[in-house]
Structure 1
């Protein structure tokens, strides 16, 4: 699998931060998205075996009650 880019790592980190602020565990967010219990954990894992796509980010924003824009940096990386 290809190494994740700086922007992908930034988005994963930001989703994790917002997830924790909203009081969601990895498992709860995964299940809220209709995914297996390990979906978010696989993305947030140090080995980074998986990543989000645009549809994931949109659905996560709905569950967390924020905008998909909240996951992106203000300036290009």
Structure 2
């Protein structure tokens, strides 16, 4: 797999899970970006399959606090 602008399966899983929870919580990208102390543009890049930006462990920990869940909620049950 070319790593130039692509994301791995696990990265895409996490991104899609966060996006799903964001939409379910009726939060816009801008609102979530503010809560995460990120720029709106960066959050847009994370959700874009064409950009290399992704969440890191600190983001996942903050997301767990925002959504009041375990960081494990953003990971698959089994390896992908």
Give the TM-score normalised by the residue count of structure 2: 0.85
Residues 1-77 of structure 1 correspond to what in structure 2 (within 5 A)? 2=3, 3-77=6-80
Separation in structure 1 between the aligned mates of residue 79 and residue 52 of structure 2, nearest angstrom: 24
TM-align CA RMSD: 1.5
Unaligned 5+ runs, structure 2: none
Report the TM-score, using the length of structure 1 for normalisation: 0.88
Deviation at residue 48 of structure 1 after TM alignment: 2.9
Separation in 2 of the partners of 1:41 and 1:73? 22
Residue 46 of structure 1 deviates from its aligned partner by 2.7
